[in-house]
Amino acid sequence: MQRALELAAPGAGRTGDNPSVGCVIVKDGVIVGEGATALGGRPHAEEVALAQAGEKARGAVAYVTLEPCAKRSTGAASCSEILIQHGIAHAFIAVGDPHPLVAGAGAERLRAAGVLVDVGLMGEQARALNAAFFAQWD
């Protein structure tokens, strides 16, 4: 998760309406994909990391600094959906997303698909990274 936070840090305040998120995909103890939310907010961190990981994502662990989205304003597949499609087995999420389009729905979608989900790893640091984003929903 520390690496995911490091990836997200440079984008803080530079991702439009979206928070800056980091995602690291690990398979058998090796990083196979990593990414951060692009400047302007698209693509999302999970999309970047999964594109890099490719088939190596199947059965892997994802470390994400913010709960993966459950719905996209663009109508594209959500990050929780693409994590499932790529076969992620376990997701560590630093902090839940307070946005009304997510607010627990991303983690629930992962769980419903059989993905192990743990929330809270380095949550304080992830929340601090996107303090302005959280302030608008608190």
Residue range 99-122: mean pLDDT, rounded: 94
Q: Is the pLDDT of residue 73 over 80?
A: no
Please give the tally of structural domains in the chain.
1
Could you give the C-alpha distances from 12 to 59, 96, 124, in angstroms and in order? 30, 17, 15
Residue 41, Cβ density class (10 Å: 0-12 exposed, 13-18 middle, ≥19 buried): middle
Q: Clarify whether 46 is annotated catalytic.
A: yes
Could you give the C-alpha distances from 37 to 48, 87, 94, 114, 130, in angstroms and in order? 8, 21, 15, 26, 12
Q: Which domain holds residue 86?
A: 2-135
CATH number of the domain at 55, please. 3.40.140.10
Residue pair 126/5 in contact (Cβ under 8 Å)? The answer is: yes
Q: Is the pLDDT of residue 122 over 80?
A: yes
Active-site option among 46, 47, 67, 81: 46
- C-alpha span between 75 and 58 (Å, rounded): 25
Question: What does the pLDDT read at residue 101?
Answer: 77
User: What stretch of H or E contains 7?
Assistant: helix 2-8
- Tell me the pLDDT tens digit for each residue of 15-71: 988 899 999 999 999 999 999 999 989 999 999 999 999 999 999 999 999 999 998
